[in-house]
Amino acid sequence: MSRRTGGAAGNRAGGGARDQSGADRAELSPRDKWITIYGRKPVLEALNDPALSVAKVVVADNAGGGSLDEILAAARRLGTPVERASSTRVKWLAGNGKQDQGVVADVDAPRMTPLPNFLRQRGRRPTKVFLLDGVTNPGNVGMILRTATGAGFDGVILPRAGTPHVGPLVIKASAGVAFQAPIVNAPTAKGAVDALRAAGYEIYGLSARSQRSLFRTELAPRAVFVLGGETHGISVTTDTDLRIPLHNGVESLNVAVAAAVVAFEVANRR
């Protein structure tokens, strides 16, 4: 492995962020409170899942059919608001013009929050987070969310620039954990690093060229582990680079696999 990378890092469980108070949640913008899903089957499954809270359902004016009747019946049973909108608006809300099937729903994500709120809530407590820097594959994003949540990481920072929307593919790869994952929203990876560094976090990258092994390095109490994109690796400036030792000619690991190695190494030290 010849270049620094997190995507090829060969190179709501556990101790995560607490749910925000009702007042804090009320002040958030919709995109920092809800995960928007689309398609009739996913929306119906969300309505029928007792572990999820659907804030509202939006149905296109021209939508109809038996499956939609099931959705409307489930929403009535749960007291979930249903709004009617033009098909154009539904497509815009879904962010997908081909697969919305005339219905979208906003599902509450109680641990999702914008980065400034996250930093304020964490204060000076020991905190471990991932930052996705150009990770574009929805399957990788979903698996990272599942791993981080299971390992008790405090947050996964998802920059809106360069990271897939948390939609059906991400949710599927996370096996549904995305709704409860400690997602931290930020506009860009660089802006997130600047804010984290200013708040006293150590920024770690993964690099095959580093002489410092992840397993032999004392980690800062407040640490950010940058996971670089599958193609171009890490684009932001890091403070310390670490390597995951590999053998038998293996040069790199998939970014989601690397995230699992880091997450459970950190969990093992707690």
Quote the pLDDT of residue 110: 93
CATH superfamily of 29-108: Ribosomal protein L30/S12 (3.30.1330.30)
The torsion region of residue 35 among left (phi > 0), alpha (psi -120 to 50) and beta comes to: beta
Q: According to DSSP H, which parts of 14-108 are helical?
A: 22-27, 40-47, 66-78, 87-94
190: helix, strand or coil: helix
The dihedral formed by the CA atoms of 187, 188, 190 and 192, expressed in degrees to the nearest 10? 40
Integer Cα distance of 104 and 98 in angstroms? 13
User: Quick one: angle between helices 40-47 and 66-78, nearest 10?
Assistant: 30
Contacts of 234 (CB under 8 A, 6+ apart): 4, 5, 6, 133, 205, 206, 226, 228
133: helix, strand or coil: strand
Give the full edge-to-edge strand order of the sheet including 183-186.
Answer: 113-114, 183-186, 155-159, 127-133, 222-228, 202-206, 240-242
Integer Cα distance of 260 and 262 in angstroms? 5
pLDDT (tens digit, 0 to 9) for every residue of the chain, 270 residues total? Answer: 333 444 434 433 334 444 555 556 667 888 889 999 999 999 999 999 999 999 999 999 998 888 999 999 999 999 999 999 999 999 998 886 678 899 999 999 999 999 999 999 999 999 999 999 999 999 999 999 999 999 999 999 999 998 988 988 899 999 999 999 999 999 999 999 999 999 999 999 988 788 899 999 999 999 999 999 877 889 999 999 999 998 998 888 899 999 999 999 999 998
Integer Cα distance of 235 and 224 in angstroms? 14
Question: How many residues belong to the chain?
Answer: 270
CA angle 33, 38, 41 (to 5 degrees): 120
Nearest to 42 by CA among 199, 170, 209: 170
Q: Say which amino acid occupies 74.
A: A
Where in the chain are the domains? Answer: 29-108, 113-269
CA distances from residue 137 to 60, 74, 96, 132, 170 in whole angstroms, order as listed: 29, 33, 16, 11, 9
Quote the pLDDT of residue 196: 98
Phi, psi of 116, rounded to the nearest 5 degrees? -60, -40
> What CATH number is given for 113-269 in this structure?
3.40.1280.10
User: Quick one: angle between helices 255-269 and 138-151, nearest 10?
Assistant: 10
29-108 and 113-269: identical CATH topology: no
Q: How much of the chain is in helix, strand and coil states, percent to nearest 5?
A: 35, 25, 40
Full-model pTM: 0.86
Pairing of the two strands 103-108 and 54-60:
antiparallel
